[in-house]
Copies of this chain bind each other. A is one copy, B any other.
Amino acid sequence: MSVNRIPVVEKILSANDSIAALNRKRFDETKTFAVNLMASPGAGKTSVILQTIAALTGRLKLGVIEGDTAPVTIDADRVIDAGMPAVQINTGGDCHLDAPMIDSGLKQLPLEELDLLIVENVGNLVCPAAFNLGTHANVLIASIPEGDDKPYKYPAIYRGLDVLIINKIDLLPYVRFNMDYFRTGVEALNPGLTTFAISCTTGEGINAWTDWLVQRSAELKR
């Protein structure tokens, strides 16, 4: 079965890459720094986005594309409540966002007015890694209660990262998590990866992450 599947998957990925290149062209033309935010379900993608909005309001104009496998607007509603434009994409059960979905989402956002676009991918540590969306940076949120062995078990997603956020560090006293073991696994897959350890509950580390966004957005505008 997998023998038959490979050519099909390659064709899909090649079509995806063409549209991803067009998405990237639009981000560059409008000077919108675009981030593909990935994570397991419940690692805190929406919480990180809300903290990012709170920290950047008045500094950057931010938009969000929310990917969901079902027609629920819980996350998009929370972003809109926070005062930023958001588009919800229902993948219809699909396990990842792809470049055509982003293309259709961009049609509903005032891209020319935005400094920063955050794409919240479907909660999944496997499939999103294979699909280039055309964004400038792949960011993964790892979460302390998920455990310290995730780089070893889901290596593909760690290899393709530009930034790693370690979230829920406030839970470190309550769970078994060996930070050295975790970081050794990450370093083997992606040496020197830019990493921010944060807590959306206490606010710790959020500024370092949002400063990075401000800097990258400024670089794009030069």
Give the interface of A toward B (CB within 8 A). Answer: 1-2, 4-5, 8, 12, 15-16, 40-43, 68-70, 72, 74-75, 92-95, 98, 100, 122-127, 130, 143, 145-147, 149-150, 152-156, 168, 170-171, 174-175
Contact = CB atoms under 8 A, between A and B. Distances in A.
Contact of A171 (B72, B124, B175): B175
A12 B16 contact: no
A98 B147 CA distance: 25
Contacts of A153: 41, 68-70, 72, 74-75, 123
Contact of A154 (B5, B69, B170): B69
Contacts of A126: 69, 93-95, 122, 124, 127
Copies in the complex: 2
A154 B40 CA distance: 12
A156 B72 contact: no
A86 to B, nearest CB: 15
Given A93-B126, A98-B1, A126-B93, A146 B70 contact: no
Contacts of A155: 69-70
A168 B156 contact: no
A152 B74 CA distance: 9
A187 to B, nearest CB: 16
- Among A70, A72, A152, A153, the most chain B Cβ lie within 10 Å of the Cβ of A153
Contacts of A175: 171
Contacts of A2: 92, 94
A215 to B, nearest CB: 30
A191 B8 CA distance: 38
Contacts of A130: 93
A217 B152 CA distance: 34
A95 B98 contact: no
Nearest to A185: B72
B1 A152 contact: no
B41 A95 contact: no
